[in-house]
Structure 1
Amino acid sequence: MSADGCCRPLSLIVTPGQRADCTQFVPVLEEIRIPRPGLGRPRKKPDSVAADKAYSNGPCREHLRRRGIRRTIPEKADSQAARLRKGSRGGRPPGFDEDRYKKRNTVERANNKLKSSRAVAARYDKRGYVFLGTVTVAALVIWLRS
């Protein structure tokens, strides 16, 4: 799931429970549609992305760099150690803004808002597409209340 600064869901993808989050990074970003005030098509590119260390891998960073999206993702300790071991061939460390990183909890808060719906928290639905409908309805309620 991705969320805006007001903890409203922007895009949702339902996956099996054992699936790693970082594998769904690109599909979630592709689903984002940011509505414009007035007329015009919705934007498909967010201004910036703040994520945790799970998304610190090369493909995620490369995708954001290619699309020109500002990113605030801390570097994993093992990646940092490998970069430092290479010396000057390891390259520069990725940029990191602590103030923007503090705002990454908006996704977690949006997740908690979704889980305030009992059907989402308990996942009564067996099939993925039915659960996606349940989560979408809960997200619509969040958007209508804000």
Structure 2
Amino acid sequence: MILTPGQAGDNPQLLPLLDEIHDIEVDEQKVRVGRVLADKAYTHPSTRQALRTRRIKATIPERADQIARRKTRGSAGGRPPAFDPDLYKLRNVVERCFNRLKQFRGLATRYAKRAAYHRAEIILACIVLHLR
């Protein structure tokens, strides 16, 4: 988990987050990220290129402006990125998790002024949800 200011974008934090996940071991085996399911905020070409260099598959829908720009360029615009709508439906698990976390009033309104306290609240809420 990476905690950022509220006005910060999510896309710049994707690669640092993947770097942190890359160092995690589960049952004495290194975890490898094989696929990223993300919304349109992560569809920037540089993000897709970075995922390709890391050999991570991406299921990210294209934004309408990117589709239009690719089509105006004609054959020079390249082909559209692969997208599996059935696999993308699994992303609702993440959205449901955010909704469950927002049931904790302190998280939803962010009463904690310090980032360390807010991060601790998130971790405690995750533990509570996991134990339920």
Shorter-normalised TM range: 0.7 to 0.9
Whole-angstrom CA distance in 2 between matches of 1:35 and 1:107: 22
1:18 is aligned to 7
1:105 corresponds to 2:99: no
Identity of aligned residues (%): 47
Deviations 1:68-117 (Å, cap 9, x if unpaired)? 11111111111111111111111111001010111111211111121222
Give the alignment partner of residue 84 of structure 1, picking from 61, 67, 71: 71
Work out which structure has the larger RCO, using CA pairs closer than 8 Å and 6 or more positions apart in sequence.
1
Give the count of matched residue pairs: 131
Q: Does 1:41 align with 2:34?
A: no
Deviations 1:1-38 (A, max 9, x none): xxxxxxxxxxx2211111112121212222326663xx
Give TM-score scaled by structure 2 length: 0.88
Question: Do residues 31 (structure 1) and 27 (structure 2) align?
Answer: no
* 2:124 partner letter: V
The amino acid of 2:85's aligned partner reads: E
SS class of match (2:29): coil
**Structure 2 spans left out of the alignment, 5+ residues:** none
What is the root-mean-square deviation in Å for CA atoms of aligned residues?
A: 1.8
Structure 1 alignment gaps of length 5 or more: 1-11
